[in-house]
Structure formats: structure tokens, C-alpha cells
A and B are shown apart, each in its own frame.
Chain A
Amino acid sequence: MNFLLFVFKRLLRLVLTVLIISTIIFFVIRVIPGDPALVIAGVDASEEEIAAVRAKIGTDVPIGQQYISWLGDIARFDFGESMISGESVNKLIFERFPLTITLAFMGIILGIIIAIPLGVLSAVRRWSFWDYLGMVFSQIGMAVPSFWLAIILLLIFAVRFPLFPLFGVGSLKHLILPALSLGFARAAVILRLTRAAMVEELSKEYVITARAKGLTETMVKYKHALRNALIPVVTITGIQFGYMLGGAIIIEQVFSLPGLGRLFLYGIYQRDFTLVQGGVVFIAVVFSLVNFLVDVLYSVINPRIRIS
């Protein structure tokens, strides 16, 4: 029962977050200079032609009315049609979404594969080779911008040693370098947190109990301490995953990948209000859903959280 209440509260929070974000994006995009009607009608268009375009795309009615009808639409998960191409925004998003989400997933998985084992090893063998390797790795990871890393990876592994394709899509291989550049910085954050959490847990009293029980060092470290250390790591990893969706926009640009990022970027260039609004709300929903899932997962691995 407690758990259901917890789920319900988090879902309520999700709805509220999306509502706030959709409001902000609706007004912000209208404050930016540039009128989509002008983009569509062209520079030579007459006043009447522009007014006709406005009527067609719905920007002729007062802004309050536009806002209300837009809220009604998104409540039904209908983001309308692109102002520029006239295609359904839902369709455009779902065409591009699989690529972006795959990229983000691969990025976070690559990050986790590097970060968690190295972080644990750093904590367990402090001041060893592995710890220094981890420190160097996380310093570089946090200092280097992902687009720069992407370009360097391209130069080395696609140009100098053509192990990977230079751009485009088609196979998993196309996504390895983008995912690496995306996951690297995230891995740095996760690694530092894993190390810190593990060091802290290893100094706790229950570890002494575990040793006093005659458990092997492997059990003490990887069953007792790691289980507790992973609690904060899971949360941070979930938040990092949210960042991945944003980071993917730049990386898709570098690798010419037709994902959500490129879709929204063109949407902004062309003042395609409906597309940008829909895209931002969509990302917000995905981000909130990921956080929601992380919260649920967190409460599964940390039994104490459900009480509060």
C-alpha cells in the first residue's frame, strides 16, 4: 500500500513537471524573434498571404487561446502538425526517437561498464595503479567536452585507422563512437561517485560485523558494501541518463545522425513552433519517466526510502 502511494505521488510530480515545462517552452519560443508565417510564406509574400498562412497554422488567434488549445492537445499526446512541413509532429518524433534513445542507452551502458568496475576497484585498492587510472580517467572525462572528444575519436578511429564508419546510420557499429563520446563524461561522474560511495561504505560498522561473521573478503566487499554503495550510484546514473538525451543533440550533429537532436535543431532554425514545443515536452516526459523509474528502482534496492 505504501508502495502504491509512493508510485502515485511520483506520477503526480511527473505530470506537474511536464505542465510547467510545456508552459515555459510555449512562451519562450514565442518571445524569440522570428515568425513562422514569414518563414513559410517567404520574403516576397503579401500581407494577405501571410495572414492566410497564420490562419492555417493557427497563430492568428490570441496567445492565451493558443496556449489553452495547446494544453488540450498535449493532454491527448497530440503535438499537432509541423508548421513548416505539415507532417504530424508525433510521427516525426517517433521516426527519430529510436535512434536517439539507442544512442543514449549505449552511451550510459558503455559509461557504466567503464565506471562502476573501475570505481569499485579504485575504492577497494586505494592508491593502487587502478585508483590512479580511475582518477586520470575521471579528470579527463570531466574536462573534455563531448563534441571535441567526438571529433578526436572520429579522426583516430574513422580517418587514421578506419575501424568505424565516419558518419551515418545502418549498423550498431555506426553508433559505437557516438555512444563512447556521449558516455565518457558520464562515466567520469559515475566513477567518482562509485569510488566515494564505496570508500564510505567500507568504513561503516556493518562491514566490521560482516568480517566478524567470518565472511570472505569478496562477500564483505561485493555483497555487503557494494550493495549499499550502489544506492546513490543508481540515482546519479538515472540523472546522467537524462543528460544523455540533451547531449545526444550535439553528438548527432557531429556524426550526422538523423536523431531527435537534429530534428529539433532544424525546428528551431525554422521557427517551427509546434515541432519545438512538441519536442521539448516529449523530452521532458522521457526525462521524467526515466527519473520516475530510477526512483522506483532506488526504492527497490534501498528499502529505507519507502518509509519516508
Chain B
Amino acid sequence: MNDSILEIKDLKISFGSGENKAAAVRGINLDVRRGEIHSLVGESGSGKTVTSTCVLGLLPEPPAIIESGSIRYKDLELLSLSAEARRKTRGKEIAMVFQEPSKYLNPALKVGEQITEMLKLHHGMNSSQSEKRAMEILDLVGLGDNNRVLSSYPHELSGGMKQRVMIGIAICCDPSLLIADEPTTALDVTLQLQILKLIMKLRRQLNMGILFISHDLAVVHDISDRVSVIYAGLIVETGSREDIFSSPRHPYTRLLLASIPDAAKRGKKLTAISGRVPDAEHFPSGCAFHPRCPLAEEHCSEQQPAMESLGGSQSAACFCLSKEWTE
């Protein structure tokens, strides 16, 4: 029984043309099930934002070129839809929450207008219906059902309130899939937790699938059902939260986890991954992680390892999975 609402298969996206052509996403497979939070973890430049933008259909083509692959949402193949048909899915079926609410909200429109315009457009509501619904939405995202927020401009709200509004905008048309692109990165730590709790609560209440994009492993640990680790445009390891956090197998995942500071590691030396994230124009040959990998062997630079099932839902792409790992 396949209950995934989003299924990305072998997605390849490149930028530019000719000699400057850079493959940013090199064959990603990913699925999000109804009601689950699937985190896509990676450093900046790894292709996670390109992937999520592509799902939403907002990738500018050119310079981006979708080389191959499929993105299926429920029974729709998104990549073969017309631009107009895709627009109609945006906001209504697939919604997105962005990183910095103060930049991503329109400064010249009242909060109410920014919510009701979607309800009018996607659900054909009139003014009083949409206002009533907007009020319910604000209540749902923890802003209370008062008129004051509806008639405020974004700059009159605090950072946390703005992100709640942003989430309210995203969920107001009852989407089945929510893409959250680092929704807590720009917030204070105390607010981060509140927003994460809100996202988890809404996921249960609305039974949405959430694709959670992040580079923050602590946040990912708190929120995810499943985790996929992306490096240089490829998923290198995927599995349940327990798989990834208790028994990581790919060297990159292991190193990422070792670099999180936490109380248990007090007194021990904090590891940093040597080297830098390669950019899309200069991805190394073979396994793209080999220049930074402590286990790398000669053939790692020649061939690209395929995803290998490790039992259960976990799989990883590495030639050295059977090698012993020493920190």
C-alpha cells in the first residue's frame, strides 16, 4: 500500500549551459507520506532548496533545466502539467513556509488580506466567508481569534508572530503537502521550539505531509519521522529518525552527527568535517564526498556508489559501509 503524497524519482536539475553547465541535483529519490515529516538535511549548496523549489514549480527555467525525472503528487505528474495547472496546485495543494518571515511577507498588505486573497482565489469565498476563515486560521496557528492581527501590517508584529502568520498563509487552503524551508533558522532559539511544536501540531490536526528542509540536525532530530541526507545533489543516506540518529551508516552522516555539540559530548573534542562543500560546477568524480571522507579508497573517486538497502527503511550510498568506523 503506497500512501505517499509526494514521490520524487530520479530528479536531475542543472543550471547554465555549455561549459558552465552545473548539475545541481543529480538523481534524487524522495517520498513524503501523508501525515509524516520527512526531513531533507544538507549543507547549503547541496541542492535541497533547488529540489523544494522544483516541487513547487517555481524554479526559473532558464537558467535551471530539469533534465529528467518525475515528481508525482497524489495522482498528478507535476512535471508534465501546464504552468497554469501547476499554479492552481500551489498554495492549495502544495504550500510553502519560508525562512525569513519579515522578508517573505508583503510589507504593504495587511495580514488579513494576505490570507483572504488565497481563500478567495482557490476556494472562491466571498469577503465575509474568507474573513471568518482567516480568523479560524489565526486561532489555529496560535495567534488567537482576534481582529487586531488581521488588520495589522507585518512590521507591526514580532518575529514569532510573523512566522505564525507565514504558516497560517501556507495552511489556509488545507494543503496536503507542506514544504518548510528552514522555517526556524531566522528565529530566536526560544521561538524555534514554539514554531516546531506548532508545525507538529498542525501536521496531526490537518494530516499534512511535510517536507522539512534544514541544515540544523538538532531541529531535524526533534521533528522528523524520516530523514534523508543530501550531499552534492544526491541523497547519500535515508532512513527513519532512529536509523539516522542512532545508527548512521554513511561517513557523511556520521561526521555530521559528530559535529553537533551536545551535553553528552561535554569535554570531548568537537569534530568538524575537513574540507569544504563543493559547488555544483566542481562536484568531485565518483562519490562526491570522497575528498573529505576518512574511509575513502581509490575506487571511490572513480565510481559513484548506488543506494544500498540496509534493512528496514534505511539505505545508504557508500562503498565502505562494511568498514569499521572509528571516531
Encode contact with A along B83-125: 1 for CB under 8 Å, 0 otherwise.
Answer: 0000111111001101010011111110000000110011000
Nearest chain-B residue to A301 (Cβ)? B108
Interface residues of B in 69-88 (CB under 8 A from A): 87-88
Task: Check if A307 is an interface residue, CB within 8 A of chain B.
Answer: yes
Encode contact with B along A275-308: 1 for CB under 8 Å, 0 otherwise.
Answer: 0000000000000000000000000011110010
Contact between chains at A212 and B105 (CB < 8 Å): no
Encode contact with B along A150-173: 1 for CB under 8 Å, 0 otherwise.
Answer: 000000000000000000000000
Contact between chains at B108 and A205 (CB < 8 Å): no
For B166, what are the chain A residues with a Cβ–Cβ distance below 8 Å?
Answer: 209
Interface residues of A in 218-245 (CB under 8 A from B): 219, 223-224, 227-228, 231
Q: Knowing A205-B104, A231-B108 touch, does A211 contact B90 (C-beta < 8 A)? A: yes
Closest chain B CB from A149 CB (angstroms): 36
Alpha-carbon gap, A214 to B94, bound state (A) = 9
For A210, what are the chain B residues with a Cβ–Cβ distance below 8 Å?
Answer: 106
Contact between chains at A214 and B122 (CB < 8 Å): yes
For B169, what are the chain A residues with a Cβ–Cβ distance below 8 Å?
Answer: 209, 213
For A304, what are the chain B residues with a Cβ–Cβ distance below 8 Å?
Answer: 107, 153, 155
Encode contact with A along B15-51: 1 for CB under 8 Å, 0 otherwise.
Answer: 0000000000000000000000000000000000000
Specify which of B107, B108, B156 lies most central, judged by the most chain A CB atoms within 10 Å of its CB: B108
Task: Check if B58 is an interface residue, CB within 8 A of chain A.
Answer: yes
Alpha-carbon gap, A112 to B118, bound state (A) = 31
Specify which of A209, A212, A302, A303 lies most central, judged by the most chain B CB atoms within 10 Å of its CB: A212
Contact between chains at A211 and B100 (CB < 8 Å): no
Alpha-carbon gap, A19 to B21, bound state (A) = 65
For A65, what are the chain B residues with a Cβ–Cβ distance below 8 Å?
Answer: none
Q: Knowing A214-B89, A303-B155, A304-B155 touch, does A209 contact B104 (C-beta < 8 A)? A: yes
Q: Secondary structure at chain A's binding surface: helix, strand, loop or mixed? A: helix
Contact between chains at B103 and A213 (CB < 8 Å): no
Closest chain A CB from B187 CB (angstroms): 16
Contact between chains at B121 and A215 (CB < 8 Å): yes
Task: Check if A85 is an interface residue, CB within 8 A of chain B.
Answer: no
For A219, what are the chain B residues with a Cβ–Cβ distance below 8 Å?
Answer: 117, 121
Task: Check if A46 is an interface residue, CB within 8 A of chain B.
Answer: no
Closest chain A CB from B288 CB (angstroms): 28
Encode contact with A along B250-273: 1 for CB under 8 Å, 0 otherwise.
Answer: 000000000000000000000000
Task: Check if B56 is an interface residue, CB within 8 A of chain A.
Answer: yes
For A307, what are the chain B residues with a Cβ–Cβ distance below 8 Å?
Answer: 155
Contact between chains at A214 and B87 (CB < 8 Å): yes
Closest chain A CB from B27 CB (angstroms): 25
**CB < 8 Å neighbour of B91 from A205, A215, A224, A303:** A215
Nearest chain-A residue to B100 (Cβ)? A205
Contact between chains at A224 and B87 (CB < 8 Å): no
Contact between chains at A206 and B103 (CB < 8 Å): yes
Contact between chains at A206 and B121 (CB < 8 Å): no
Give the total of B residues in contact with A, Cβ under 8 Å.
28
Contact between chains at A214 and B91 (CB < 8 Å): yes
Encode contact with A along B118-135: 1 for CB under 8 Å, 0 otherwise.
Answer: 100110000000000000
Alpha-carbon gap, A92 to B50, bound state (A) = 69
Q: Knowing A205-B100, A211-B58, A303-B155 touch, does A216 contact B87 (C-beta < 8 A)? A: yes
Alpha-carbon gap, A219 to B108, bound state (A) = 14
Contact between chains at A212 and B87 (CB < 8 Å): no
Task: Check if A9 is an interface residue, CB within 8 A of chain B.
Answer: no
Alpha-carbon gap, A212 to B105, bound state (A) = 12
For B90, what are the chain A residues with a Cβ–Cβ distance below 8 Å?
Answer: 211-214
Interface residues of B in 150-203 (CB under 8 A from A): 153, 155-156, 166, 169
Nearest chain-A residue to B103 (Cβ)? A205
**CB < 8 Å neighbour of A206 from B88, B95, B105, B155:** B105
Contact between chains at B58 and A214 (CB < 8 Å): no
Alpha-carbon gap, A116 to B310, bound state (A) = 62
Closest chain A CB from B179 CB (angstroms): 9
Contact between chains at B117 and A303 (CB < 8 Å): no
For A209, what are the chain B residues with a Cβ–Cβ distance below 8 Å?
Answer: 96, 98, 104-106, 166, 169
Contact between chains at B104 and A208 (CB < 8 Å): yes
Nearest chain-A residue to B98 (Cβ)? A209
Closest chain A CB from B54 CB (angstroms): 13
In addition to A303-B107, A303-B156, 10 A-B residue pairs with Cβ atoms within 8 Å of each other are A205-B104, A206-B103, A209-B166, A211-B90, A213-B169, A214-B88, A214-B89, A214-B91, A302-B108, A304-B107
22 CB contacts below 8 A, A to B, read: A205-B98, A206-B104, A206-B106, A209-B96, A209-B106, A209-B169, A211-B90, A212-B96, A212-B98, A213-B91, A213-B95, A214-B91, A214-B92, A215-B91, A215-B117, A223-B117, A227-B106, A227-B109, A301-B108, A302-B108, A303-B107, A304-B153
Point out residues on A near B: beta carbons under 8 Å. 204-206, 208-216, 219, 223-224, 227-228, 231, 301-304, 307
Closest 3 CB pairs of A and B: A214-B91, A214-B90, A213-B91
